[in-house]
Structure 1
Amino acid sequence: MDPLWYKDAVIYQLHVRSFFDANDDGYGDFEGLRQKLPYLEALGVNTLWLMPFFQSPLRDDGYDISDYYQILPVHGSLEDFRRFLDEAHARGMRVIIELVLNHTSIDHPWFQEARKPGSPMRDFYVWSDTPERYKGVRVIFQDFEPSNWTFDPVAGAYYWHRFYHHQPDLNWDNPEVEKAMHQVMFFWADMGVDGFRLDAIPYLYEREGTNCENLPETIEAVKRLRKALEERYGPGKVLLAEANMWPEETLPYFGEGDGVHMAYNFPLMPRLFLALRREDRGPIEAMLQETEGIPESAQWALFLRNHDELTLEKVTEEEREFLWEVYAPDPRYRINLGIRRRLMPLLGGDRRRFELLHALLFTLKGSPILYYGDEIGMGDNPFLGDRNGVRTPMQWSADRNAGFSRAPYHRLFLPPVSEGPYSYHFVNVEAQQENPHSLLNFVRRFLGIRNRYARVLGRGSLRLLPVENRRILAYEREYQGEKILVVANLSRYSQAFDLPLEEYEGLVPVELFSQNPFPPVEGRYRLALGPHGFMLFALRPKQEIERLYLPDWAAPEEEMAGIPQDLPTVPLSGGVEGLFIDTLVDERARASFLSALGRVLSERSWLASRPKQVGLKDALRLQKEPPLYLTLLRLEGEGGSLEAFLPIALRQDREGPGLFARVRGGGGGYLFELSQDPGFYALLLRRLAQGFEGRSLKAHYRGRHPGHVPEALELLRPGLAAGEGVWLQVGLIQDGGLDRTERLFPHLSLPWVRRPVGGLYWERGRERRVLALTGTFPSGQPQEAFAYTLRLAREGLARLQDHPVGEGALGLMADALRELEALVRLLGVRLALLHRALQEVEGEGDGVPLLNRGLGAFVEVEGEVFLLALGKEGRGLPLRDLARLAYDLERALYLAAEEMEGAGPWVDLAADFLEEALFQAYQEATQGALEALEGFPQLMLALAQEQALREEKPSRQEVLKRWRRRTGEGGG
């Protein structure tokens, strides 16, 4: 176990009695909490802080303990607690409980015994014959208590209490008190709890002439507590100090690494709210500097709100007056020296401010704490008295009692918020769980990022960036070379600013929510943020980003850098024409050439089958120097034969994609197949624009392109290139698809079908075939639809990879995959419209014509998706085309999941979700049900088996395994 686990913790604070009632008695219990662990796991928290659940008269919400060793019966039994603790640990969650060291309840047997004259327990508490001792010590609960002394008529003396009069302070000058509290700690630690929150720790000792806070004796007692804990259990159990003090008074609690492990950053918390309303980062920067210098092994605990008032004890009078004025103008919302409101009402219901404060909570230096219900924006009821208004039942649903309990309303320990905008009828988990735009899903997404970068955000250094615009707070978090940049706009208006990032020149900021790369850093970096906006960036090397966005079919640069040691050799006695022209053929050289070509074609993903034998049907020279030939090949394989149209070049250098053989003799050089060389496509387009005519021994080649000719073309996938509004599609596989495309597209009045304007044709007598087609696009940067889908899948899964698949998964997934779902629905509609249009053009038959190319038939330009090609001639069910699209969607998901940890469990769920969207969109567009839908799993299995033979890539194997599972045919 990592002894510094608390640095990576995301802590969730809850009342057991407020969370969920499993036995319907009106009080939350441990069985109810155990049942809700899947919700907490899905939320993304990994540590639970439980407020007091011990035996108590509940005059102070459980902080008035009457028996440290017993659980309040309404919460269950010790066995219930053990069962909850075991399951939390099994889910990877740790549990911190309260250790109330300062005081007990007046009902505690210790106090009842101490009241008796001459009792040996008398010295367990602090007594006085007069209330004049420790004069000048402040009264903390000044709205409720007139003094820190209360007279007890049984004891005939005054007893000391820093809080309520029913909570007498323990006498820590008595060694037996310290020993007794150590035993309490050992009891719960033996049971397996992972840490203790030290309640009201600054007030353990009293000394005349002091303020009785943070005394040296208290600091030493804390160190003894830690020493006792570690001597018994070793490192790993944590002490968290509730020390609401000024920075210089809090720091001593850490000691030199021998005090508490964690302490609440009370100095920073109110300054977050101050900076937000002043729209100036000054208060935050000042407190970050003041709270520096804690030991390396120590950690701050960060929070926005909790079970108490928003305390304004440790702010200046001017700061307190300002915060009261802007956050609690109504005096009824004030209590003691604070504000008794929950977070969302405190912010006036402003979602942007809510999100901004959570961005700071999750990225500033420390471990964040969420108070139960804040993740859904729960409201409060300040009229319940004291601080009970922020301790109302968790709002699970719009059902009775907010889904918290089935008990009669009058038996609830507190009424749920049932009126106004925060009523449980509107604000509840059930309503937000499946809503991708809800506060709950925002918090879940952010915690996914927090957990992915737990080491950087939990343990890394923090460096403030000196931005001239003071409404902007910017800082860098760094840990072991990994850097995250956080930028936040504290203003209610949009802001533009320059970030001083000169030292990061060449790095690429990748926005963490979308996973979108921004332009590389080249000096000062200009950004703009909307009102209360924020952005998180990972700063990554440019090479890493380029590698991440390599297309599926492209080999990584490192694989292309060298020549394979076993590169075949083609022995050529004459010129290169001896390989291609039958009347000049060098039979031995051609056999070696075709053998080497067959070997490389067996590795090409665009070729559906693995050729056992390659024959040359025809060839035409396109370019003399360096030699480049257009070839028609006949490929023989297990599934029969097919024809391929492939450009082959001989070059003297070995640079470029497609190298497959070296030539010995005849001037030497290297042979390349150019299906992946964008230079070939640019050359072919230029020749077509000039009006191309050629003659081989067997056929005429004619071609034209009447449109614009860009200087260069980008290869979208093998066989398809585009640039500056022009596309060129080469029929690498001669299956008749381009012939059918050319014949039918002019008859399809669908604006997203791009009709060809030119092409290259092979003609022999009455036989004619289309070797290539050209056309136009709207201006924009096109990409092949599978690459577009893969990018959306990567972005979506990256948003999900750190979330467990559990309760509320659908809502979170729907938001993460929103762009991909929109694309899928669009394709479903367009496939339905295409089928209908093709029926009108080609007539009815045994079903409808096949699309056959899946996503490879589509291209995306600036958010619009265009159809460029049909599949080969043939008729079949619409289900086959849907299966082809579904297969590509699944493969994109599995490919994306290969690149990131934690995304795998989401793939099956995402595939089901997207396929349902595809079917639904298709059926809505056709206004009818799909026939033979029950045959879809078997169709998918057959398709997956066929595709797995094409290419031994993990993604294809995973799709096959998925459909073997779905059809019950085994195979994992």
Structure 2
Amino acid sequence: MREQKKWWQNAVVYQIYPRSFQDSNGDGIGDLQGIIKRLDYLEELGIDAVWLSPVCRSPQDDNGYDISDYQDIDPVFGSLDDMEKLIREARKRNIRIMIDLVLNHSSDEHRWFQEAKKSKDNPYHDYYVWRDGEEGVLPNDMGSVFGGPAWEWVPELGQYYFHQFSVKQPDLNWENPKVRREIYDMILWWMDKGAGGFRLDVIDQIAKEPDRKITNNGPRLHEFIRELSRETFQKGDLITVGEAWGADIDRAKLYSNPDGSEFSMVFQFEHMMLDQEPGKEKWDSCPLPFVKLKQNLAKWQTELHGCGWNSLFWNNHDLPRIVSRWGNDKEYRTESAKMLATILHGMQGTPYIYQGEELGMTNVRFDHIDQYQDIEIRNMYRERLAKGYEEKEIMESIYAKGRDNARTPMQWDDTAHAGFTTGTPWMQVNPNYREINAEAARKDPDSIFHYYRKLICLRKENPIFAEGDFILLLEEDENIFAYVRSLADRELLVVANFTEQEIICTLPEEWKDGEVLIHNYKDGGKSEVLRPYESMMIEREK
């Protein structure tokens, strides 16, 4: 069993998408002063750390994931002084600030790239990935994530540069030790500023080898990460998490090795891709294979136990709202949101709550494509129209999987623009804010918000959540998600009805006298009939 020595093993992290969280100056865009204003709300919720999506200086081609200066704050969010104040004020409330670092690529407006384009002999040229060629003849047929080729021609150099994402996001060349040193010094600078941790964007792509068409999991990946950790993270008591869409169990064991040689944990996405048609794009949805979901989550629970660490999440800034995706955001919004939280927070790992998840915020259905801001959505819309897809079909894909579902402004109250801004919001607020908002949730003792507060308290009070073994029950059942956590002389049973139907579920006799720690229906109970989306946690002595 893994010894509990790290604070983040009992922690709960809250992700903020700053652009959409709270505007303090009426320009319609969330900012750092707005986050400071809402720290008491986060303290009330009970979280331990805040992961901020990027706030560094950026042209905002990809909403901040295109950084032009890693050691400054974008004016749209405030100033470096604001950032330092946020770190201080959060610490007063025992909340650490995690900074989102994009180390696979920079903005094309970064000083390094501006220099790199001047000549092949420029000392910064080799900070990026270049290939000789001739205009119109690409080095190979690799495509970028956001559409189009992954190579961009620079006529004055007679070369192409490589970009896995937007053309304004040239990939950094991690083979160059000078690049790595620049990155390490920048991270140490943020640590000196009081950063409590880091989230590393698409970190599994830094060791790319485009000539071999390798983007993620390149041969030198873990060599680079171990050096990164040794030079930076291991010099402080930090929480670190790497985003790795290509992670499997064996790689995750390296990423989250208890010896601290790489990261605290890793974001892997196997469970979040189960409702995607095999071999197709994320826009091509299929019904969730529920049994596979249970088996997948159980695999990560059992195979990382004692030799790695899980990140637990349903939502983030790139994913649609979970209550709309796998719950029921209409008749059973409250019940299904609580059920999904129950399943996740009962597992071993560090839970991540995405802003508004604790309110049961839902996906949005805008009428027109011009109401959407995301570069990925807009590119997909144009490409699929050109391929002959019906507009209605394209919009349905956006409603289901578009990233802007997660990026509509935070719903604080039922005043204009949900209390997010006194100006015109950068993106329209979800029209359901009058019914779904933080002010109403805080006043209702049976709300999703207070349910999350209770789940967070349970994790902090009971070591079984962080340390216990995991056993999946009813593995082939098409409706019920059930598992047991076990530690010393205590056992915890988590049972959830994943459907909107009533389901018969007879509890084993030994559990009938157990203590119900949390239940998502007001009247509680241990009936043999589970109501729609009913869920509970029961604890007993072995």
Name the TM-score class by shorter chain.
0.7 to 0.9
Matched-pair contact (CA < 8 Å) for 1:269–1:303: no
- Aligned equivalent of 1:403: 419
- Residue 416 in structure 1 maps to residue 429 in structure 2: yes
- Aligned equivalent of 2:357: 374
- Aligned equivalent of 1:216: 219
- Aligned equivalent of 1:18: 20
- Aligned equivalent of 2:291: 281
CA-CA distance at 1:97 after TM superposition? 1.0
Matched-pair contact (CA < 8 Å) for 2:489–2:541: no
CA deviation map 1:714-733 (0-9, x unaligned): xxxxxxxxxxxxxxxxxxxx
Over the matched positions of the two proteins, sequence identity in percent amounts to 32
Q: Which of 436, 448, 457 is 1:448 aligned to? A: 457
Aligned partner of 1:85: which letter?
I
Equivalent-residue separation in structure 2 for 1:278 and 1:385 (angstroms): 27
Matched-pair contact (CA < 8 Å) for 1:94–1:193: yes
Matched-pair contact (CA < 8 Å) for 1:397–1:425: yes
Pairs within 5 Å for 1:392-541: 392-407=408-423, 409=424, 412-417=425-430, 419=431, 422=432, 424-453=433-462, 455-466=463-474, 469-499=477-507, 508-513=513-518, 527-540=528-541
- Aligned equivalent of 1:266: 269
CA-CA distance at 1:49 after TM superposition? 0.5
Matched-pair contact (CA < 8 Å) for 1:125–1:169: yes
Aligned partner of 2:309: which letter?
Q
Matched-pair contact (CA < 8 Å) for 1:477–1:484: yes
SS at match of 1:260: coil
CA-CA distance at 1:212 after TM superposition? 2.7
Matched-pair contact (CA < 8 Å) for 1:229–1:237: no
- Aligned equivalent of 2:282: none
- Aligned equivalent of 1:140: 145
- Aligned equivalent of 2:341: 358
CA-CA distance at 1:428 after TM superposition? 1.7
- Aligned equivalent of 2:283: none
Equivalent-residue separation in structure 2 for 1:296 and 1:472 (angstroms): 27
Equivalent-residue separation in structure 1 for 2:139 and 2:527 (angstroms): 58
Aligned partner of 2:499: which letter?
S
Change beyond 3 A, Cα 1:272–1:439: farther
- Aligned equivalent of 2:280: none
Equivalent-residue separation in structure 2 for 1:66 and 1:468 (angstroms): 50
Equivalent-residue separation in structure 1 for 2:426 and 2:140 (angstroms): 38
- Residue 244 in structure 1 maps to residue 245 in structure 2: yes
Equivalent-residue separation in structure 1 for 2:43 and 2:112 (angstroms): 40
CA deviation map 1:836-873 (0-9, x unaligned): xxxxxxxxxxxxxxxxxxxxxxxxxxxxxxxxxxxxxx
SS at match of 1:68: strand
Equivalent-residue separation in structure 2 for 1:125 and 1:343 (angstroms): 37
CA-CA distance at 1:107 after TM superposition? 0.6
CA-CA distance at 1:404 after TM superposition? 1.4
CA-CA distance at 1:17 after TM superposition? 2.5
Higher relative contact order (CA 8 A, sep 6+): 2
Change beyond 3 A, Cα 1:389–1:497: closer
- Aligned equivalent of 1:33: 35
Task: Structure 1 unaligned segments of length 5 or more: list them.
Answer: 311-340, 520-524, 542-972
- Aligned equivalent of 2:380: none
CA-CA distance at 1:147 after TM superposition? 0.9
CA deviation map 1:18-67 (0-9, x unaligned): 21122333222222211211111111222110000011111111010010
Equivalent-residue separation in structure 2 for 1:221 and 1:67 (angstroms): 22
SS at match of 1:96: strand
Matched-pair contact (CA < 8 Å) for 2:256–2:262: yes
Matched-pair contact (CA < 8 Å) for 1:44–1:451: no
Change beyond 3 A, Cα 1:497–1:291: closer
SS at match of 1:378: coil
- Residue 300 in structure 1 maps to residue 283 in structure 2: no
Change beyond 3 A, Cα 1:17–1:239: same
Change beyond 3 A, Cα 1:514–1:112: closer
Matched-pair contact (CA < 8 Å) for 2:246–2:268: no
Q: Which of 174, 198, 201 is 2:200 aligned to? A: 198
- Aligned equivalent of 1:44: 46
Matched-pair contact (CA < 8 Å) for 1:172–1:204: yes
CA-CA distance at 1:537 after TM superposition? 0.5
- Residue 342 in structure 1 maps to residue 321 in structure 2: yes
Equivalent-residue separation in structure 2 for 1:128 and 1:45 (angstroms): 47
Equivalent-residue separation in structure 2 for 1:440 and 1:390 (angstroms): 17
Aligned partner of 2:538: which letter?
F
CA-CA distance at 1:168 after TM superposition? 0.2
CA deviation map 1:212-254 (0-9, x unaligned): 3201301111111111225533xx2122010012524642433
CA-CA distance at 1:354 after TM superposition? 2.1
Equivalent-residue separation in structure 2 for 1:231 and 1:467 (angstroms): 40
Task: Structure 2 unaligned segments of length 5 or more: list them.
Answer: 278-285, 375-402
How many matched pairs?
A: 487
Matched-pair contact (CA < 8 Å) for 1:64–1:103: yes
Pairs within 5 Å for 1:724-743: none
Equivalent-residue separation in structure 2 for 1:100 and 1:123 (angstroms): 18
Equivalent-residue separation in structure 2 for 1:482 and 1:366 (angstroms): 19
Name the Cα RMSD after superposition.
3.1
Equivalent-residue separation in structure 2 for 1:273 and 1:462 (angstroms): 27
Change beyond 3 A, Cα 1:20–1:280: closer
CA-CA distance at 1:188 after TM superposition? 0.8
Matched-pair contact (CA < 8 Å) for 2:139–2:151: no
Equivalent-residue separation in structure 2 for 1:456 and 1:290 (angstroms): 17
Equivalent-residue separation in structure 2 for 1:199 and 1:225 (angstroms): 14
SS at match of 2:514: strand
Equivalent-residue separation in structure 2 for 1:461 and 1:173 (angstroms): 41
Equivalent-residue separation in structure 2 for 1:270 and 1:151 (angstroms): 34
SS at match of 1:477: strand
Equivalent-residue separation in structure 2 for 1:381 and 1:72 (angstroms): 30
Equivalent-residue separation in structure 2 for 1:115 and 1:136 (angstroms): 23
Pairs within 5 Å for 1:324-723: 341-346=320-325, 347-349=327-329, 350-351=332-333, 352-379=335-362, 380=364, 383=369, 384-386=372-374, 387-407=403-423, 409=424, 412-417=425-430, 419=431, 422=432, 424-453=433-462, 455-466=463-474, 469-499=477-507, 508-513=513-518, 527-540=528-541
Stretch of structure 1 that moved more, 191-200 or 3-12: 3-12
Find the structure with the greater CA-based Rg: 1
SS at match of 1:539: strand
Equivalent-residue separation in structure 2 for 1:185 and 1:451 (angstroms): 30
CA deviation map 1:667-702 (0-9, x unaligned): xxxxxxxxxxxxxxxxxxxxxxxxxxxxxxxxxxxx
- Aligned equivalent of 1:226: 229
Q: Which of 129, 147, 163 is 1:126 aligned to? A: 129
CA-CA distance at 1:269 after TM superposition? 3.2
CA-CA distance at 1:299 after TM superposition? 1.6
CA-CA distance at 1:498 after TM superposition? 4.1
Matched-pair contact (CA < 8 Å) for 1:137–1:211: no
Equivalent-residue separation in structure 1 for 2:158 and 2:289 (angstroms): 56
Aligned partner of 1:90: which letter?
K
Equivalent-residue separation in structure 2 for 1:103 and 1:506 (angstroms): 52
Matched-pair contact (CA < 8 Å) for 1:465–1:476: yes
CA deviation map 1:788-810 (0-9, x unaligned): xxxxxxxxxxxxxxxxxxxxxxx
Equivalent-residue separation in structure 1 for 2:26 and 2:196 (angstroms): 29
SS at match of 2:232: helix
CA-CA distance at 1:255 after TM superposition? 4.9
Equivalent-residue separation in structure 2 for 1:71 and 1:395 (angstroms): 25
- Aligned equivalent of 1:162: 164
Change beyond 3 A, Cα 1:509–1:105: same
Matched-pair contact (CA < 8 Å) for 2:474–2:480: no
Pairs within 5 Å for 1:940-955: none
Aligned partner of 2:248: which letter?
P
SS at match of 1:73: coil
- Aligned equivalent of 1:6: 8
